[in-house]
Amino acid sequence: MTYYLLERPRTLVSLTHFSDEYESAKSSISEDLSILKRTFQERGIGLLETIPGAAGGAIFTPYMLKNEAEDFVASLINAIDDDTRVLPGGYVYLSDLLGQPWFLKRIGRLIATQYLKEPIDAVMTAATKGVPVAQSVAEELNVPFVIVRNDTKVTEGPTMSVNYVTGQSQRLEKMELSRRSLPMGSRVLIVDDFMKAGGTIRGMASLVKEFEGQVVGAAVVAEGRVENRVIEDYTSLVHVETNNENGVISVTPGNYQKQIFSNKDEA
Amino acid sequence: MTYYLLERPRTLVSLTHFSDEYESAKSSISEDLSILKRTFQERGIGLLETIPGAAGGAIFTPYMLKNEAEDFVASLINAIDDDTRVLPGGYVYLSDLLGQPWFLKRIGRLIATQYLKEPIDAVMTAATKGVPVAQSVAEELNVPFVIVRNDTKVTEGPTMSVNYVTGQSQRLEKMELSRRSLPMGSRVLIVDDFMKAGGTIRGMASLVKEFEGQVVGAAVVAEGRVENRVIEDYTSLVHVETNNENGVISVTPGNYQKQIFSNKDEA
């Protein structure tokens, strides 16, 4: 039962399914679910809600509690806070961390926790480095993710495109998304690995509008320091400042604590 | 315990960890592990090996048994076998499937099962569409994945590059990988979404050699039909043939059955 629920986050599994599968009475399944609920809560694994009645069942929503979130962001800061990561143009080398399942799983869970109560239909990101972040978040939310591109590839089929202005250098760019990959009217969470002024995110938001959808929020692993941020409402896990002249990096926690439960009883 | 082991595939967890964490005697932890081992085996979830002795513990290796693999490949074929997926140039639209956690998790598990007994240090893929496949496989293997690119991005830092000849059109291309992302001498599994002649995979193999590493194998979700395949040893989940003139697609199982256990007792 634990395995089955963990594999299907945010999905209603009917009591009937469990009682058929394990050849047990619904009453003993209910008892087992209460034990699981308590265990998941005590260990900060997630919320197990049971819905009574004929159409009822159990829904598992993974989350990350404040303590674990703080420990994880501290380990993220520890990994990023390394002067050799400073790249020209205020960028930071993150690809090694964004290729490690351990970090990705926790990044996905922490970002998903920020939108615990929001219905979300899809996660959107920009190619290529946002993809692992999007996949990790989508896995926790159990929804599809879509990849917006700057270059047209013949293998995508018909696309919808928008022009957007990059945040800092004010260049005009074009981004596009395969028409087929996102249903019209979807509720979309935008994610990316790194945000400077936020031009790419603003571009994705306008693409969501072209698909007649709604932006639920925007979340990034790291935000850099800029003077003219073009978007206001976003979540970041860490804040990074780099100094190109002496190549020094400074990393602090981002603004992620908006929606984190302090302890297991609040959730 | 189930949650803890599922979160850490292919990792030795010591008995001491469990007995400290759950304040239980090692003997009762051992008993619980035997029950879990039987359950994981009966349900085809994976192999739980227990290693006796002071340095011992438990290692969980997820796998997919033959029946589940056949059912999954049938559902993959069913999803791909749709004439509207045929794109110009013998390509097939797969991005929607490669953005769905349900498919990705199973693709990852099935490919990882092919290399159940092989030590693997890293998974390698080519940007952008191979990334979700690489991430899914890396998660099951619990190793990092690295992304090879055709375009140089300033945000990658120093890179190592190779020239390679594309399989069908015989063009000379360049691909590169951030030096920092792959340790020298790694044992690498190469994965991708779609393979035609195999030029990209051959290019990645030569890049592995530049990093003084060893190619453990190559696996793709779908292989197309070509006359002049440039690589011989690979795993594919499905085989796709498209006819550009009438836009008809035909999908059959790939060669994935090399290393799949027929039943729970073989594993």
Which residues of A fall within a CB distance of 8 Å from B2? 2-3
- For the record, the structure tokens of A125 come out as 């990101």
Find the mean pLDDT for residues B16-20.
90
pLDDT averaged over every residue in chain B: 90
Q: What is the pLDDT of residues B118-154, one digit of tens each?
A: 999 999 999 989 999 999 999 999 999 999 998 766 6
B104 Cβ under 8 Å from any chain A Cβ: yes
Radius of gyration of chain B (CA): 20
A101 Cβ under 8 Å from any chain B Cβ: yes
> Which pLDDT score, from 0 to 100, does residue B45 have?
93
CA B250 to chain centre: 24
Q: What is the DSSP string of A5-42?
A: HHHSTT-EEEHHHHHHHTT--HHHHHHHHHHHHHHHHH
B75 and B58 in one domain? no
Q: Give just the sign of the alpha carbon dihedral A120, B94, B257, B207.
A: negative
What residue in B sits closest to A124 (Cα-Cα)?
Answer: B99
Asked whether residue A75 is domain-assigned, the answer is: yes
B 154-173 near A (Cβ less than 8 A): 154-157
> Which pLDDT score, from 0 to 100, does residue B54 have?
76
Asked whether residue A43 is domain-assigned, the answer is: yes
Asked whether residue B51 is domain-assigned, the answer is: yes
> Which pLDDT score, from 0 to 100, does residue A21 have?
87
A151 and A33 in one domain? no
Give the closest residue to A167 by CA, choosing from A89, A58, A259. A89
Query: Is A135–B138 a contact, with Cβ atoms under 8 angstroms apart?
Result: no
A72 and A90 in one domain? yes
Distance from CA of A204 to the nearest CA of B (A): 17
ipTM given for this complex: 0.91
B205 and B79 in one domain? yes
Domain-ending residue, one of B46, B62, B78: B62
List of chain A residues with pLDDT < 70: 152-155, 258-267
Question: Has residue B239 got a pLDDT over 90?
Answer: yes
Q: Could you tell me where the beta strands, DSSP code E, fall in chain B?
A: 12-14, 46-51, 57-62, 86-87, 91-92, 122-126, 145-148, 159-165, 172-178, 187-195, 214-224, 235-243, 248-253
A227 and A127 in one domain? yes
Distance from CA of A246 to the nearest CA of B (A): 17
> Which pLDDT score, from 0 to 100, does residue A258 have?
66
What is the helix (H) or strand (E) element at residue A236, kind and residue range? strand A235-243
Query: Is A89–B154 a contact, with Cβ atoms under 8 angstroms apart?
Result: yes
Domain-ending residue, one of A62, A77, A110: A62
Distance from CA of A203 to the nearest CA of B (A): 19
Asked whether residue B264 is domain-assigned, the answer is: no
B82 and B35 in one domain? no
> Which pLDDT score, from 0 to 100, does residue A157 have?
80
Q: State the Cα angle at A47 between A42 and A52, rounded to 5°.
A: 115
> Which CATH number do you get for residue B10?
1.10.10.10
A31 Cβ under 8 Å from any chain B Cβ: no
B2 Cβ under 8 Å from any chain A Cβ: yes
In one letter, which amino acid is B156? E
Distance from CA of B181 to the nearest CA of A (A): 5
> Which pLDDT score, from 0 to 100, does residue B144 have?
98
Query: Is A156–B95 a contact, with Cβ atoms under 8 angstroms apart?
Result: yes
B108 Cβ under 8 Å from any chain A Cβ: no
In one letter, which amino acid is A28? S
> Which CATH number do you get for residue A93?
3.40.50.2020
A231 Cβ under 8 Å from any chain B Cβ: no
Q: Which of B41, B94, B139, B155 to mutate to test the interface with A (most CBs of A within 10 A)?
A: B155
Confidence of residue B106 (pLDDT cuts 50, 70, 90): very high
What residue in B sits closest to A1 (Cα-Cα)?
Answer: B2
> Which pLDDT score, from 0 to 100, does residue A153 have?
63
Distance from CA of A54 to the nearest CA of B (A): 27
Asked whether residue B265 is domain-assigned, the answer is: no
Find the mean pLDDT for residues B145-170.
83
B251 and B225 in one domain? yes
Question: Has residue B246 got a pLDDT over 90?
Answer: no
- For the record, the structure tokens of A102 come out as 């351990």
Confidence of residue B166 (pLDDT cuts 50, 70, 90): confident
> Which pLDDT score, from 0 to 100, does residue A98 have?
96
Query: Is A101–B156 a contact, with Cβ atoms under 8 angstroms apart?
Result: no
Report the domain count for chain A: 2
CA A149 to CA B78: how far, in whole Å?
A: 28
Query: Is A138–B87 a contact, with Cβ atoms under 8 angstroms apart?
Result: no
What residue in B sits closest to A180 (Cα-Cα)?
Answer: B96
A160 and A96 in one domain? yes
Burial code (b: 16+ CB inside 10 Å, e: under 16) for B163-183 equals ebebbbeeeeeebbbbebbbe
Q: What is the side-by-side order of every strand in the sheet holding B46-51?
A: B12-14, B57-62, B46-51
Asked whether residue A264 is domain-assigned, the answer is: no
Query: Is A96–B149 a contact, with Cβ atoms under 8 angstroms apart?
Result: no
* CA trace torsion B199, B98, A127, B143 (10° rounding): -80
> Which pLDDT score, from 0 to 100, does residue B156 have?
76
Q: Which domain holds residue B206?
A: 66-259
Distance from CA of A125 to the nearest CA of B (A): 11
Say what angle helices A131-141 and A101-114 make with each other, to 10 degrees.
60
CA A95 to CA A117: how far, in whole Å?
A: 30
Question: Has residue B195 got a pLDDT over 70?
Answer: yes
Domain-ending residue, one of B33, B62, B91: B62
- Please answer whether residues A89 and A247 qualify as being in contact, where contact means their C-beta atoms are separated by less than 8 angstroms: no
- Please answer whether residues A18 and A11 qualify as being in contact, where contact means their C-beta atoms are separated by less than 8 angstroms: no
> Which pLDDT score, from 0 to 100, does residue A257 have?
81
Query: Is A157–B93 a contact, with Cβ atoms under 8 angstroms apart?
Result: yes
Q: What is the pLDDT of residues B41-72, one digit of tens each?
A: 998 999 999 988 878 899 999 999 999 999 99
B73 and B58 in one domain? no
Asked whether residue B107 is domain-assigned, the answer is: yes
> In 3-state terms, what secondary structure has residue A246?
coil
Distance from CA of B54 to the nearest CA of A (A): 27
Q: How many CB atoms lie within 10 A of CB A139?
A: 25
Query: Is B138–A99 a contact, with Cβ atoms under 8 angstroms apart?
Result: yes
- Please answer whether residues A242 and A257 qualify as being in contact, where contact means their C-beta atoms are separated by less than 8 angstroms: no
> In 3-state terms, what secondary structure has residue A220?
strand
Which residues of A fall within a CB distance of 8 Å from B128? 127-128, 131, 147, 149
Asked whether residue B266 is domain-assigned, the answer is: no
Query: Is B178–A93 a contact, with Cβ atoms under 8 angstroms apart?
Result: yes
Which residues of A fall within a CB distance of 8 Å from B129? 155
Query: Is B144–A96 a contact, with Cβ atoms under 8 angstroms apart?
Result: yes
A15 Cβ under 8 Å from any chain B Cβ: no
Count of alpha carbons within 13 angstroms of residue A214, beta-carbon side: 7
Distance from CA of B6 to the nearest CA of A (A): 8
A213 and A113 in one domain? yes
A241 and A118 in one domain? yes
- For the record, the structure tokens of A209 come out as 């509008």
Q: Which of B95, B131, B181 sits opposite A178 (nearest CB)?
A: B95
B230 and B180 in one domain? yes
